[in-house]
Structure 1
Amino acid sequence: MKNTIFTKSENTALLIGRVLIIALFMISGLGKIANVEATQGYMAAMGMPASLIWPAIALEVGGALAVLLGFFTRPLALPFAVYSVISALVFHSNFDDQMQAINFWKNISIAAGFIFLWVSGPGRYSLEAWLANRK
């Protein structure tokens, strides 16, 4: 873990930030699990191979749980950022539809949040910090 010193309030903010940024992915991933076939149909209609649902679920649920706990936070932050940009480009690039344009920029903003998380790391209130302090 990178030797970064944050104040108590900054560490609390990092924890809250991890919870907030990951909530969307956890909810989305669980929704995909509950509706695999419908999600695969939507993906196929958008030109994406339906088989990509499984890596998407792995990242959205497994990766989200890891980031939530503050485990492998930096290594997962960049795949989440890339995933958010790809999702914006593939699923939300119809700028004639105002809602799609809003979702496009939402995804780009989420990618920026993950880049910040990659730089900062998970903070003190994380499994990574707990494991590092046990040594």
Structure 2
Amino acid sequence: MKLVNFISNNESLSSIANLIGRVGLSVIFILAGMNKVQYYDGNAQYLVSGGLPEFLLPVVIAFELIGGLFILAGALTQLTALAFAGFCVVSALVFHNNLADQMQFFMFFKNIAMAGGFLALASAGAGRFSVDHKLVKQ
């Protein structure tokens, strides 16, 4: 049964996998937040097209940038991952709900998959290479 749990039974592999997973989950949101700053007007229009008020855009930008950095650093990981899981599901439902459109279909399920990744991260915690680990050790 070692094959089934070869990562979780090895602390070093588990910590490295967790770090790589956090990098993968965080980078898309850090880049998205930066994109929203760079192309603010177009993103504001897109937000309004989804039925949301434009004043939410700075909140979304802050959430994506700060939350993305928290996930990357492994800080408040479980709470931040839960918030991102919810964010991904809401984004899928609001902006990618036209499942007849192939691109929206894939975007919808990309968001659902990311929500699953964030739930797995919330369950596992940040791992050894994280701010959370340093805070708990003290």
- Matching residue of 1:119: 123
| TM-superposed deviation, 1:9 | 0.2
Alignment of 1:32-71 (within 5 A): 32-71=36-75
Out of 66, 85, 91, which is 2:95 matched to?
A: 91
Residue 75 of structure 2 aligns with an amino acid whose one-letter code is F
Partner of 1:103: 107
Q: Are 1:19 and 2:4 counterparts?
A: no
Q: Which runs of 5+ in 1 are unaligned?
A: none
Aligned to 1:128: 132
CA distance in 1, matches of 2:116, 2:74: 18
Runs of 4+ in 1 over 3 A off after TM superposition: none
Q: Could you tell me the TM-score, scaled by structure 2's length?
A: 0.90
C-alpha displacement at 1:48, in angstroms? 1.1
% identical equivalent positions: 38
| Bigger relative CO (Cα 8 Å, ≥ 6 apart) | 1
User: Which structure 2 residue ranges, 5 or more long, are not aligned?
Assistant: 1-8
1:66-107 CA-partner distances (Å, limit 9, x unpaired): 110010101111110010001101111111210100010010
* Partner Cα separation in structure 2 for residue 48 and residue 91 of structure 1: 10
Q: How many residues align?
A: 130
1:6 deviates by: 6.0
| TM-score, normalization by structure 1 | 0.92
Over 3 Å counting, the alpha-carbon distance change for 1:29 and 1:6 in structure 2 is: farther
CA contact (8 A) 1:93 1:101 kept: yes
The Cα of 1:42 is off from its aligned counterpart by 1.1
Post-superposition offset of 1:127? 1.1
